[in-house]
């Protein structure tokens, strides 16, 4: 599967720690709020909201939290107004970085992101400077749970997936963004446990860097990932290992 990198694996494993700290919940609540604001609070008629709620349930978010986030989005409850924005730039060794943000203050967010990138040896670029290096794809992560790889591969393709890869204890299924929920539903109906389902920016080509620069790249990516306003971080970074 094209575009899968060492950072993708680190990011997935890091998500478990983030969930314990509450970062995952915070990001999902923002996503639910925006989805409900833009498309209404009916889950069945709002694909983006349905995807966000499904991810909330996969993360074991309490139903009350989900309901409150939806009502804040529809205006039934008072809440902060979030905006979506994205930033692009380069990290150490020239690796491309894309960041999707959900923020209530764009000026604060961009200033803090610029500070972080500069601090760790990168620079913030103009919109479009690196986005052409990525494709938008649906990415569904399944728990392997002893399932035979060939069987899961066939099930994924029959469900409408475009690509597939085994990565340790999970399988990564790639889809057209518009098909992510239908593929997810089909796989769940066949008994597969979905860990997450997101629309991601997948790099078209990977950039290998020398091992002595690898840690500085990872340190920057993790610092960006930890920022409260950043929903997701994407990069074409890979290592020579």
Q: How confident is residue 5, by pLDDT bands cut at 50, 70 and 90?
A: low
The pLDDT value recorded for residue 42 is 95
Kindly tell me if the per-residue pLDDT of 218 is higher than 60: yes
Question: Residue 26 in contact with residue 228, Cβ under 8 Å?
Answer: yes
Instruction: Note whether residue 146 is domain-resident.
Output: no
Q: Which CATH number goes with the domain that contains 59?
A: 1.10.10.200
User: What are the tens digits of pLDDT across the range 126-137?
Assistant: 999 999 999 999
The pLDDT value recorded for residue 146 is 84
The pLDDT value recorded for residue 212 is 82
Sign of dihedral through CA atoms 185, 186, 192, 194? negative
Which range of residues forms the domain containing residue 18?
Answer: 6-74
Instruction: Note whether residue 38 is domain-resident.
Output: yes
Please state the pTM of the whole predicted model. Answer: 0.85
Domain count, the chain: 1
Find the mean pLDDT for residues 197-217. 88
> DSSP code of 5?
-
DSSP 27-75: HHHHHHHHHHHHH-S-GGG-HHHHHHHHHHHHTT--HHHHHHHHHHHHT
Instruction: Note whether residue 70 is domain-resident.
Output: yes
User: What are the tens digits of pLDDT across the range 17-71?
Assistant: 666 567 888 899 999 999 999 999 999 999 999 999 998 998 889 999 999 999 9
Instruction: Note whether residue 40 is domain-resident.
Output: yes
Say what the alpha-carbon torsion angle 211, 223, 28, 174 is, to the nearest 10 degrees.
-20
Instruction: Note whether residue 127 is domain-resident.
Output: no
Distance CA 46, CA 28 (A): 16
Q: Which residue has the higher pLDDT, 144 or 132?
A: 132
Q: How confident is residue 78, by pLDDT bands cut at 50, 70 and 90?
A: very high
């Amino acid at each position: 599967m094209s575009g899968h990198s060492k950072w993708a694996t680190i990011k997935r494993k890091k998500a478990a720690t983030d969930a314990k700290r509450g970062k995952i919940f915070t990001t999902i609540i923002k996503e639910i709020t925006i989805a409900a604001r833009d498309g209404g609070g009916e889950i069945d008629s709002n694909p983006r909201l349905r995807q966000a709620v499904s991810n909330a349930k996969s993360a074991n978010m309490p139903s009350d939290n989900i309901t409150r986030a939806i009502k804040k989005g529809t205006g039934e409850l008072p809440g902060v107004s979030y905006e979506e924005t994205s930033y692009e730039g380069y990290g150490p060794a020239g690796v491309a970085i894309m960041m999707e943000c959900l923020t209530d203050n764009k000026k604060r967010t961009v200033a803090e992101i610029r500070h972080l990138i500069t601090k760790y040896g990168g620079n913030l670029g103009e919109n479009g400077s690196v986005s052409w290096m990525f494709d938008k794809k649906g990415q569904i992560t399944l728990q392997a749970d002893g399932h035979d790889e060939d069987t899961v591969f066939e099930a994924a393709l029959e469900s409408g997936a475009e690509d597939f890869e085994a990565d340790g204890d999970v399988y990564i299924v790639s889809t057209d963004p518009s098909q992510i929920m239908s593929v997810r539903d089909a796989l769940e109906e066949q008994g597969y446990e979905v860990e997450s389902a997101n629309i991601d920016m997948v790099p078209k080509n990977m950039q290998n860097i020398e091992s002595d620069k690898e840690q500085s790249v990872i340190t920057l990516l993790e610092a960006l990932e930890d920022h409260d306003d950043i929903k997701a971080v994407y990069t074409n970074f890979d290592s020579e290992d």
